[in-house]
Amino acid sequence: MLSTLLVIGGVLVGLLVLLAVIVSLSARPATATRTTPGGTRTPVWAADAGRPHPDAWSAPVASTTSEMPAVR
């Protein structure tokens, strides 16, 4: 009787530890920001490139960017 309860308790504790490991490994990393020499912090996300998000329903706009052109 006691050994059965110990086994069940051990299995439950092991499952909780496994759940905690999975949750900790799947957590998102903290957002990183870079500090420029002037002391201002700049975000590192690609979404903050200074251009608005393209509208899927409007005609493509030919604008110059610093990105490499697609090879076709």
Q: What is the pLDDT of residue 52?
A: 66
CA distance 70 to 61: 15
Per-residue pLDDT 10s for the chain (72 aa) are: 999 999 999 999 999 999 999 988 887 666 555 555 666 665 555 555 666 666 777 776 666 666 677 777
Backbone angles phi, psi at 66, to 5 degrees: -90, 10
pTM of the full predicted structure? Answer: 0.41
Whose structure tokens read 């900790």? Answer: 24
Distance of CA 9 to the CA centre of its chain: 35
Instruction: Check: CB of residue 7 under 8 Å from CB of residue 15.
Output: no
Interacting residues of 60 by C-beta distance below 8 A, sequence separation 6+: 54
